[in-house]
Chain A
Amino acid sequence: DADVTQTPRNRITKTGKRIMLECSQTKGHDRMYWYRQDPGLGLRLIYYSFDVKDINKGEISDGYSVSRQAQAKFSLSLESAIPNQTALYFCATSAGTGDPDTQYFGPGTRLTVL
């Protein structure tokens, strides 16, 4: 089984709809992250959480919100989707101690907003 899973893997929605992307991990890591990837721009950090009670904005948090329901679960919401949020979204995890820098990525969710 994959250590970091994301659901759904693909989603097509319409402008104005509320969307939730979910991430679960079995690595036992404390830290979780959400990124989006656009062609030619690499991965950009949306939100991150270092433990269940910790939520931090990343580089591009506008239009997004997150919820850390448990150590293993971190959800990303788009309250009112717009077309420029069409992108590939990745969840990632890292350990809080030992090697906190190396992040491990889920398979990604391809989101299309029409």
Chain B
Amino acid sequence: EDKVVQSPLSLVVHEGDTVTLNCSYEVTNFRSLLWYKQEKKAPTFLFMLTSSGIEKKSGRLSSILDKKELFSILNITATQTGDSAIYLCAGTSYGKLTFGQGTILTVHP
């Protein structure tokens, strides 16, 4: 059975802090690792990672994949209150996603 585990499950920080969210996976016939941000309702796509060691970056967010150790991290620098959300990672295999439980990030002013 495919499994994706995220840590920590929740995190409270202050504006300006840097955070690192973790995602480990055991997915048969793994193809890619996706990160989503979920604020009010629908998850919105952040990154797709397919190759080890190649960092993807979008503004203050960055992510990297390690296919040997089977994990990914999502970094957020200089956090803002608008970064408060649930962050979900998912491993893909044959077009299906297996999601982790999510990390609830709360950023205080």
List the interface of chain A (C-beta within 8 A of B).
31, 33, 40-45, 48, 50, 58, 88, 90, 94, 99-108
Contacts and interface: CB of A to CB of B under 8 A. Distances in A.
B25 interface: no
Interface of B: 4, 6, 9, 31-32, 34, 41-45, 48, 88, 90, 92, 95-102
8 contacts: A41-B101, A42-B100, A43-B88, A43-B90, A45-B97, A101-B31, A103-B45, A106-B42
A107 B99 contact: no
Given A40-B9, A40-B101, A42-B102, A105 B42 contact: yes
Which label, helix, strand, loop or mixed, suits the secondary structure of the B interface? strand
A99 to B, nearest CB: 8
B33 to A, nearest CB: 9
Which label, helix, strand, loop or mixed, suits the secondary structure of the A interface? loop
Contacts of A42: 4, 6, 88, 99-102
Contacts of B34: 101-103
B41 A108 contact: yes
Given A43-B90, A103-B45, A103-B97, 5 more contacts: A43-B88, A43-B99, A101-B34, A102-B34, A106-B42
Pick the most buried of B45, B96, B102: most chain A CB atoms within 10 A of its CB: B96
Nearest to A48: B96
Contacts of B48: 99, 101-102
